[in-house]
Structure 1
Amino acid sequence: MRKIFIWRWVFFLVGMMVLSLGITMTIKGQRLGIGPWDVLHVGLYENFGLSIGTWGIITGFIIIVTTAAVLKQWPQLGTWLNMLLIGIFIDVFNWLLPDIHTLVGQTIIFVFGVLVMAYGVGIYVSPNVGAGPRDSLMLILVEKLGISVKIVRTGIEVIVAVLGWLLGGPVGIGTVVIALLIGQIVHYALPQCRRLLLKIVGEEDEDVLLRK
């Protein structure tokens, strides 16, 4: 059990690093546009300073507090770590990765960034340690409104993208690509990552990943 516990957290932490790397890669290719939430974070950064990662942490904290109040339930540790570490990792990678000025270069890093993001989600979600703040908000709205995940997720991302655009965040074809394709890629990435985790811990039953 200890081996399973350790590897679940390893996957969770590595997944957040990979996801943050993918997000930063798309930001470096922002001439094409970036993901809806990142449009908001960049818009806030351009208007009020701080950093893109810091705004990710702030918006994540607001969402966590709001969802906790609605559910009257304290979030899992993984949810808090997701809020904090992804913001930190984004700032670190944003500092490490060079700025790209050509359209070809930005297109290449953007495309690879989308793939990296999707597999980052697959890696960090596979051990079932805790959903991110934005995923928790989506699930609450699905439950409260009684409508599909697809409609709720799309609605949230449209609202967030519009707010970010009004603040000057980069909206473009890439924003649409991320909104439409990430879920499709995660659909394949998540089971692959889950099978890899089970293989590493020497288990076949996915129920071991559902234990808190």
Structure 2
Amino acid sequence: MTTVQLADLGPITQLRAGQLPRRLLQLYVGLWLYGVSLALMVRGHIGLAPWDVLHSGAIRHIPITLGQAVVLFSFVVLVLWIPLKEKPGLGTISNALVIGVAADVTLGMFAAPDNMVARVALMASGILLCALATALYIGAQLGRGPRDGLMTGLARRTGLSIRLVRTALEVTVVLLGLLLGGTLGLGTVVFALTIGPITQWLLPIFLIDLGEATPQAEVGDNPEPHPDLLR
């Protein structure tokens, strides 16, 4: 079986690694679809992804849109990269900007339905689209998102497992979001339980082979979940 490798590259090397036009297209399509998926879950009104619980709570106290909150918190998180000595790449900055814009554009296109069946469909569609979007932008191999880098940086600095650090971060942001009045519900639980396995299944399809790039992990028929699942 031929495997494709997830590369651990610096920001300049990422741009020089080949197939750049395809990778850029895949990156920005993935990030835009991620913002759309966020908006679908918001309009479903059955619960949001953990970080979006925090974003939804923040906009109750700050006169900004949800998408603007996503951008704001992305750059707050990037400040936390400094003591962790994480290096942002093109994908990192793009992640911080594009997702929030896409979310606001999509939220402006339609209102939340009253029908519960439609709301459940929006929630399910949001989760599935989020997994696809994650596989697309990770597969482009152009750098971690802000929240991804915080997670992996903390894991590297503390020596704790990715799973433990991710869980601690998600619990923390959910609790902060709840204190601020954020939206928590069944969708939050469903998202937490399903996003990893679905993304793991989709990632090998969209992971672009960089050939001689230094591997971080191998992805085949049964890959291990990649840490970059937080956005």
Same fold (TM over 0.5): yes
Label 1:93 to 1:210 Cα distance change in 2 as closer, same or farther (>3 A).
farther
- Distance, in Å, in 1 between the alignment partners of 2:62 and 2:34 is 25
- Distance, in Å, in 2 between the alignment partners of 1:104 and 1:78 is 36
1:10 and 2:25 aligned: yes
- Distance, in Å, in 2 between the alignment partners of 1:35 and 1:56 is 12
Question: Which amino acid is the alignment partner of residue 119 of structure 1?
Answer: L
User: 1:49 is matched with which residue?
Assistant: 63
Question: Which amino acid is the alignment partner of residue 129 of structure 1?
Answer: L
1:191 and 2:204 aligned: yes
User: 1:99 is matched with which residue?
Assistant: 112
1:87 and 2:100 aligned: yes
Question: Where in structure 1 are there 5+ consecutive unaligned residues?
Answer: 199-204
- Distance, in Å, in 1 between the alignment partners of 2:162 and 2:193 is 13
SS at match of 2:114: coil
Query: Moved runs in structure 1, 4+ residues, more than 4 A?
Result: 208-211
User: 1:22 is matched with which residue?
Assistant: 37
Map 1:45-84 onto structure 2 (within 5 A).
45-71=59-85, 74-84=87-97
Map 1:102-117 onto structure 2 (within 5 A).
102-117=115-130
Aligned identity (percent) is 32
Q: How high is the TM-score relative to the length of structure 2? A: 0.81
RMSD: 1.9
1:181 and 2:194 aligned: yes
Instruction: Give the total of aligned pairs.
Output: 200
- Distance, in Å, in 1 between the alignment partners of 2:133 and 2:110 is 18
CA deviation string 1:23-51 (max 9, x = no partner): 11111112x21111111111111222211
Map 1:99-178 onto structure 2 (within 5 A).
99-178=112-191
- Distance, in Å, in 2 between the alignment partners of 1:57 and 1:4 is 28
Question: Where in structure 2 are there 5+ consecutive unaligned residues?
Answer: 1-15, 216-231
- Distance, in Å, in 2 between the alignment partners of 1:131 and 1:94 is 25
Q: How high is the TM-score relative to the length of structure 1? A: 0.88
Higher percent of residues as helix: 1
- Distance, in Å, in 1 between the alignment partners of 2:39 and 2:64 is 16
Preserved contact between residue 128 and residue 210 of structure 1 (Cα < 8 Å) = no
